[in-house]
Structure 1
């Protein structure tokens, strides 16, 4: 067991050096208080030595005894203490290894979250995506965005393009979008006689909210169009039947809020 324990202790030292090197490399690019704290904690972890263990088990303070021979020989562990220390020393490398492993996992998870935010930010494009059904109201919004606000607009009309699948086109639009306006117009009749937006447009709402977030994937709901459960309670731009231009000032304010157009 002593051989295995020494091997684990050596592996712990090597792991500490490797993790310290990786964290130093990560911290070189940008300061991070969480990683600094983890790095410090890992550096403080060390395998219990026999001297430290014995010192911790011996009594502290002034010792008074009439046994001069014992006094001259110094403090020693009792036999049962020596056995206890031996067992502790055998298990110490494993304990430290588990602690360092946990700290390393914390650092790794933190770096993944940070990198995930960076990747998501890098994926956000520059276009204003306009989702719509059969209604032609989207054309007025596209003209407003392009001609009045001077922003690039994109829309998915589902007209097949030679050699490019609809899925590939929609995926490309997801990547290039900075913000999305999904226009829900009353087109499909439900069993109860109410009208809802086409299901493919409702699907686009979920896609763009998942990619851009709720503040950058906006629903524009026409009066008379049934509101589906996924958007209840979320911010919406509502407009009268056939009059999407009534919401254009709200569109402008949203684009200003998100920093896509200059407020001056």
Structure 2
């Protein structure tokens, strides 16, 4: 008797399963974005290929993890917290690298990149502890994670990164500002998901679906980040 291989098996999804739906759409959207970024690389000068490559890697890594997370949700009906944080620990530092790459011509040093990467790792590790390991102290771990997030936001809005962007030219300043808005507004969706999925004084947000919040935020932020970089590369290429 012929059987369908596991990797081709498709679980039944309820019509009101918005978590499963957003996992599937997020996976397909980020995979499509990866193909777009990778295939467009050769249309740019060497200077911008690394930035486009990083954009493609961000969405590709996320798409692979979303494939596993979709299957995990379909099988167990539980939030795939572990897979989600593995995804973030790889993709969020890469998003920080994008700031360094676009500001490198303006004199950005690697110390700026490593500071942002370090802060992002602190933000994610403490977030994972609060959400999956030590939920009884979710407020404390969430506070530490939030401090690291605001330190990143300060760096790009008012710190050395902003000063470099001001001297880099109009197109880079515009792209930098767009990425800053993604961090300030787009990344704010992650604390909401954290609050919706942890106990304590966060209980007032339990009416929200943590996974839907995360899935929508991931797709918007990661694809949006890449499109900002792509648009900047197009502009600089035309110049």
The TM-score normalised by the length of structure 2 is: 0.24
- Larger radius of gyration, structure 1 or 2? 1
The TM-score normalised by the length of structure 1 is: 0.23
Higher helix share: 2
Higher strand share: 1
